[in-house]
A and B are shown apart, each in its own frame.
Chain A
Amino acid sequence: MFESRDEIIKNRVVINDDWALLRLDEDEAADTVAIPAGKVIVPLAVWQAQHAALAARLPDIGVWLGADERPEVLLDDIAKLTVIGVNFPKFTDGRGYSIAYNLRARLGYKGELRAIGDVLRDQLFSMQRVGFDAFATRLDRNIHDALKGLTVFSETYQASWDEKTPLFRRHQRQNSDGKNPDADIASGI
């Protein structure tokens, strides 16, 4: 079954989406399912089963990973791929966050990292932090409302993909004597 949508969030703006996403139906097999022309994001199993043919179509082919699939299997192709999706079967299933982090931090993936599936506004901030830059938010919700989820916090304590250093290394924080070196600098002391 091919899902297509008009819009996604990419780099914090809503843009037109020209990708189709393939989800295998029960009666479809990874090695025989036909991949139509155009830009298609295919499941990992299809990418592996039809590797030679699909790799020849890059960059018009993307791959998506299920929450139980390992990003390392894409290691050999990672430099060539321009779109990788990570599926959230349910917004409460957090495996996709670690998959994204590993794709970025361990495997050095530089292309578009797209959250797909049960992707909702209230999870976007965390998704963005671990390395997602594209969000195929759930179609029954307003995608422009969802944008607000990306700007909830202006400061964070810990390092992740978006911010490589923790707060305590980025700022001189207040000491127990009440002295605040940052504020002192700001006020010209």
Chain B
Amino acid sequence: MYQYDQYDHLIVKERIAQYRDQVQRRIADELTEDEFVPLRLQNGLYMQRHAYMLRIAVPYGLLSSKQMRMFGHIARKYDRGYGHFTTRQNIQFNWIELEQTPDILLDLASVEMHAIQTSGNCIRNITSDEFAGVAFDEIIDPRPYAEVLRQWSTFHPEFLALPRKFKVAINGALEDRAAIAVHDIGLTVVHGEDGAIGFKVMVGGGMGRTPILGSVVREFLPWQHMLTYIEAVMRVYNQYGRRDNKYKARIKILLKALGVEEFTRQVEAEWVDLKDSPSTLTIDEMARVAAYFAPPAYETLETIDPASFHVESKPFANWLKRNVKPHKVPGYAAVLLSLKKTGVPPGDATAEQIDFIADLADRYAFGELRVTHEQNLVLADVKQSQLFKLWNEARAHGLATPNIGLLTDIICCPGGDFCSLANAKSLPIAAAIAERFDNLDFQHDIGDIELNISGCINACGHHHVGNIGVLGVDKDGSEWYQVSIGGAQGNNPAIGKIIGPSFSSQQMPEVIDRLLHVYVRERFEGERFVDTAQRLGVAPFKEYVYATPIKVGHLVGEDEYV
């Protein structure tokens, strides 16, 4: 993976000094809170309901065991013993003291990490495929490009006060695992006609209040021009994106207002002057960065069927089926450690688990880990012959729930329990649903399904692209939940459609049950929930869900949720 050189270290060190000074000036009241807010946000520090939350950047979701252990250290020393992995492949800590944040950054810098631009109206952490470099369907490893973009966007002087936040994702595989269609810029690495490498450039996707899939503004951009072209997009957005209404300020609104043709014309006109400028990438620089992502020292192994050695173990078979993914090198596999054990908030890991996972990475996976945007963790390079041993170890630490891609692999934002933006709690809904459908046989029968829950319209829980999406809404001061179906990420992205009036938290598990009932009744053999939902549309689901009143059962909200 990428390693800092003297310049990266210098920039991060000077950043910490700058931020420490800003914090001191805030405490001394030389900066007003209004003036301080954008400064701390660009360092990942949010004020939440109970305390500050610090979001730490995990560039494109890749981290070393040493960096992982630092998270454990931060959880213990500065927080309450756990961390929360996010849908931006980052980690956040929920119980932080402002005065301690400069010291946390100093600790992070010692392992080449920071919290730069993890929030605020700037270019955020660039996300990518959690299986980058090992995916069997990969065309080009996107990580070197993500790293080059990370550096370019870090403190870009012109783009630190954008109309709104700006998210970039890069995918380099046949299957899109980076949800590029719902990003402000979504890049896909592709081969041009002559075999040259470049990008398909999508702009203007996003979730939030106005979910829109991105539009292709350029079918093929040679890789050398990545930075100058993105600079052109950013400059158009910085000048013309709306600033009068924060809900209309994302680039998607500008693109829709101008139309994709006019938007593209403006970008191309901007780019004419930038093309071939010194910001054009060089072969030397790309080769230098790419070398950091060279494959680890794989052994020459035969592909085996790990299940065949343990036919007696159904749990192991289930885990292999759901949590183990194919690898492009024979004899290896990529393993997902589930952070979605029923009873635990999705994406949470304790300091002990964090340390243990770091140990697993050292012992099984060349000391590297990835964070997925579904809030799980990946050991990307595990020998197939060691899967059974790894499974036993992970299971003992609550990290082997065989539910990847299943109903209880819920994407969920921190919601009203922590976040001051939220209209409604999301974690208790996730907990109640997980509890209701904890039966693994049932989950495996239902098969692939993505249940995404957001506590408000900002859509941190990606509810728009959930096969089932749940959105917390506020009605006259009480919390209600709006349900949509048919959303999807991946190669055929879709925005879900709302089925009807909202529900109370206590009704939600029954709502899910009724949706699944219709699916089971209507599905063709082998058909996934999302395909059935998209084939039939909302009507039959709506009819059944609302056919009879849903009783409010025993309390499954916060009273029961610990």
A→B interface (CB under 8 Å): 91-95, 97-99, 101, 105-106, 120, 122-123, 125-127, 129-130, 152-160, 164-169, 171, 173-177, 180, 182-183
Contact = CB atoms under 8 A, between A and B. Distances in A.
Given A155-B10, A183-B6, A94 B278 contact: no
B35 A159 contact: no
Given A94-B161, A166-B278, A180-B6, 8 more contacts: A94-B158, A125-B157, A127-B157, A153-B11, A153-B155, A157-B155, A160-B158, A174-B5
Given A94-B158, A158-B279, A176-B292, A153 B14 contact: yes
A137 to B, nearest CB: 13
B158 A130 contact: yes
Contact of A98 (B3, B238, B279, B291): B238
Contacts of B282: 168-169
Given A98-B239, A183-B6, A92 B278 contact: no
B14 A92 contact: no
Interface of B: 3, 5-7, 10-11, 14-15, 17-18, 22, 31, 35, 38-39, 121, 151-163, 227, 235, 238-239, 243, 273, 277-279, 282, 285, 288, 291-292, 294
B278 A159 contact: yes
A152 B14 contact: yes
Contact of B288 (A155, A175, A182): A175
A91 B35 contact: yes
Contacts of A98: 158, 235, 238-239
Nearest to B290: A176
Contacts of A93: 161, 243
A64 to B, nearest CB: 17
B160 A167 contact: no
A167 to B, nearest CB: 6
Nearest to A166: B279
A101 B156 CA distance: 12
Given A159-B278, A160-B157, A154 B10 contact: yes
B273 A180 contact: no
Nearest to A149: B18
B157 A157 contact: no
Given A92-B38, A94-B160, A176-B291, A155 B7 contact: yes
B152 A158 contact: yes
A153 B12 CA distance: 9
A159 B279 contact: yes
Contacts of A176: 3, 288, 291-292, 294
Nearest to A127: B157
Nearest to A169: B278
Contacts of A169: 278, 282, 285
12 contacts: A94-B161, A97-B157, A106-B273, A123-B161, A126-B158, A129-B158, A157-B152, A160-B158, A166-B278, A174-B5, A174-B6, A176-B294
Given A152-B14, A155-B11, A164-B278, A94 B288 contact: no
Contacts of B17: 152
Select the residue from A99, A106, A159 with max chain B CB neighbours within 10 A: A159
A97 B152 contact: no
B148 to A, nearest CB: 8
Contact of A92 (B18, B153, B161): B161
Given A153-B11, A160-B158, A97 B238 contact: yes
A180 to B, nearest CB: 6
Contacts of B160: 94, 97, 126
A15 B71 CA distance: 48
Nearest to A101: B158
Contact of B14 (A154, A157, A167): A154
A92 B156 CA distance: 15
B238 A159 contact: no
Contacts of A182: 6
A174 B176 CA distance: 32
A92 B157 contact: no
Contacts of A94: 121, 158-163, 238
A58 to B, nearest CB: 28
A126 B157 contact: yes
Contacts of B243: 93, 95
Contacts of A152: 14, 17-18
Contacts of A180: 5-6
A123 B278 CA distance: 25
Contacts of B279: 158-159, 166
Nearest to A122: B39
Contacts of B273: 105-106
A130 B157 contact: yes
A140 to B, nearest CB: 10
B288 A95 contact: no
Nearest to A175: B288
Nearest to B156: A158
Contacts of A130: 157-158
A99 B239 CA distance: 8
Contacts of B159: 94, 97
A27 B79 CA distance: 56
Contacts of B277: 159
A165 B227 CA distance: 13
A166 B294 CA distance: 24
B364 to A, nearest CB: 23
